[in-house]
Amino acid sequence: METYLVGGAVRDELLGRPVTDRDYVVVGSTPQEMEGLGFRRVGADFPVFLHPETHCEYALARTERKTAPGYRGFVVHAHPDVTLADDLRRRDLTINAMARSESGALIDPYGGLADLRAGLLRHVSPAFSEDPVRILRVARFAARFGFAVAPETMTLMRSMVAAGEVSALVPERVFNELDRALAEPYPWLFIEVLRACGALEAQFPEIARLFGVPQPVSHHPEGDTGVHVLLALRQAVALGLSARGRFAVLLHDLGKGTTPPHEWPSHKGHEARGAVLVDALCARLRAPAEHRALARAVAQYHLQVHTALSLRPATVLRLLEAVDAFRRPERFDEFLTACEADARGRAGREDQAYPQAAWLRRARAAAAQVSGRDCAGPGLTGEQIQARLRAARIRAIAAQPRP
Q: Are residues 208 and 104 part of one domain? A: no
The CA distance from 279 to 70, in Å, is 35
Q: Are residues 107 and 211 part of one domain? A: no
Residue 125 lies in a domain: no
CA dihedral 268, 270, 272, 275 (to 10 degrees): -170
Q: What is the model's pLDDT at position 66? A: 65
Per DSSP, 401 falls in state: P
Q: What is the model's pLDDT at position 311? A: 98
Name the residue among 65, 28, 34 with its Cα closest to residue 47: 34
Residue 21 lies in a domain: yes
Sheet of 40-41: strand order equals 40-41, 48-50, 57-60, 23-27, 2-6, 99-100, 106-107
Residue 143 lies in a domain: no
Name the residue among 249, 243, 227 with its Cα closest to residue 140: 243
Residue 297 lies in a domain: yes
Q: Are residues 335 and 213 part of one domain? A: yes
Backbone angles phi, psi at 61, to 5 degrees: -55, 135
Residue 169 lies in a domain: no
Contacts of 394 (CB under 8 A, 6+ apart): 313, 314, 317
Decide: helix, strand or coil at residue 53.
coil
If one counts the domains in the chain, the total is 2
The CA distance from 356 to 82, in Å, is 62
Residue 150 lies in a domain: no
Q: What is each CA distance from 128 to 92, 109, 153, in whole angstroms?
A: 6, 16, 9
Residue 242 lies in a domain: yes
Domain boundary among 85, 111, 137: 111
What is this structure's pTM?
A: 0.92
Q: Are residues 385 and 268 part of one domain? A: yes
Name the residue among 70, 79, 95 with its Cα closest to residue 14: 95
CA 149 to chain centre: 19
Q: Are residues 248 and 374 part of one domain? A: yes
Tell me the CA end-to-end span of the chain in Å, nearest whole number: 71
What CATH number did the domain enclosing 91 receive? 3.30.460.10
Residue 336 lies in a domain: yes
Q: Are residues 365 and 230 part of one domain? A: yes
Q: Are residues 101 and 210 part of one domain? A: no
The segments of the chain whose pLDDT lies below 70 read: 43-45, 65-76, 379
Question: Residue 65 corresponds to which amino acid?
Answer: R
Domain boundary among 111, 130, 155: 111
Q: Are residues 222 and 93 part of one domain? A: no
Q: Are residues 364 and 246 part of one domain? A: yes
The helix (run of H) or strand (run of E) holding residue 314 is: helix 313-322
Question: Residue 379 corresponds to which amino acid?
Answer: G
Structural domain harbouring 69: 2-111
Q: What is the model's pLDDT at position 73? A: 55
Within 187-312, where are the H helices? Answer: 187-197, 199-203, 205-208, 225-238, 243-251, 270-285, 289-306
Domain boundary among 44, 78, 111: 111
Q: Are residues 226 and 100 part of one domain? A: no
